[in-house]
Amino acid sequence: MYRLSKDQYNHYYQMLFSLIGNSFPISQRTKRIIIDSSLLLEVPKGHHMLEHGEIEKNVRFLCKGHIRCVDHGNNKSYIYDYRSAPNIVCEVVSLYSNEPSQMSLVTISDCHYMTISKQVFQSLAKTNSNLAELSTKTTAIFLGISHNKHRLFRTLSAEERYEIFLKKHPEIVKIESLTNISSYLGINPATLSRIRSRVRTC
């Protein structure tokens, strides 16, 4: 893990402020606090941003790269989701409940990300209604991902799920293993291999 220069990588902060600004305005004071209170980090592929059983204590903004979200509930692990930059990355259930996380967050490529502590973020949210709204929006996105995946599993065939995955995560398809993609899609690896062969020949 390496710390990056905030001056050299200032464009990452502009990416974050632009993302927030798409939903609501953010004051110069709040921007300054975020810059001063955060760290910019570079980590290699295979780095665990959050370990299973660890309590989430940070809110992160993924500036470059891709991560894998793994659910370890009920003594069985499976791929819950993938996130690609630019994106906010946080295990919201553990963050707000202060309970050990049932998930792990693992980089699947070299990544750059910004991290700010839970304490600083909550302090900002108390004095800035826009950041409080961002917190609510992040939680809603988390719940939406769960609902959307459940809907896809109930209404689409295995091949249709893979085709959606190809469109949504074209870069991840190139770097992630067949086993992990099949875990995410809820498909047997042998079945996914046959589907991939058919899709390539179409």
C-alpha of 36 from chain center: 23
Residue 97: its H or E element: helix 92-97
Q: Clarify whether residues 51 and 64 are in a common domain.
A: yes
Confidence band for 58, pLDDT divided at 50, 70 and 90: very high
Give the tokens for residue 190.
Answer: 């042998």
Q: Clarify whether residues 175 and 140 are in a common domain.
A: no
Q: Clarify whether residues 131 and 168 are in a common domain.
A: no
Q: Clarify whether residues 109 and 171 are in a common domain.
A: no
When divided into structural domains, the chain yields a total of 2
Q: Clarify whether residues 141 and 176 are in a common domain.
A: no
Q: Clarify whether residues 62 and 115 are in a common domain.
A: yes
Q: Clarify whether residues 148 and 165 are in a common domain.
A: no
Tens-place pLDDT, residues 158-171? 999 999 899 999 99
Sign of CA dihedral 134, 59, 14, 123: positive
Give the tokens for residue 13.
Answer: 């902060």
Cβ–Cβ < 8 Å for 88, 15: no
Q: Clarify whether residues 131 and 87 are in a common domain.
A: yes
Helix pair 178-185, 158-168: axis angle to 10 deg: 110
Position 141 scores a pLDDT of 62
Q: Clarify whether residues 92 and 136 are in a common domain.
A: yes
C-alpha of 49 from chain center: 10
Q: Clarify whether residues 40 and 137 are in a common domain.
A: yes
Residue 34's nearest CA partner among 51, 19, 50, 49 is 19
Tens-place pLDDT, residues 81-110? 999 999 989 998 899 899 999 999 999 999
CA 78/CA 59 separation, integer angstroms: 23
Confidence band for 130, pLDDT divided at 50, 70 and 90: low
Distances (CA, A) of 174 to 63, 80, 171: 19, 18, 5
CATH code of 137's domain: 2.60.120.10
Confidence band for 197, pLDDT divided at 50, 70 and 90: confident
CA 105/CA 30 separation, integer angstroms: 27
Position 156 scores a pLDDT of 86
Position 3 scores a pLDDT of 96
Q: Clarify whether residues 30 and 70 are in a common domain.
A: yes
Summary mean pLDDT of the chain: 88
Q: What is the mean pLDDT of residues 52-66?
A: 96
pLDDT at 201 over 60: no
Q: Clarify whether residues 150 and 168 are in a common domain.
A: no
Sole residue written with tokens 């665990």: 48
Sole residue written with tokens 């980590």: 43
Residue 102's nearest CA partner among 34, 64, 50 is 50
Range of the domain at 101: 2-154
Q: What pairs with residue 112 in β-bridges? A: 42, 64
Q: What is the mean pLDDT of residues 173-182?
A: 95
Cβ–Cβ < 8 Å for 23, 134: yes
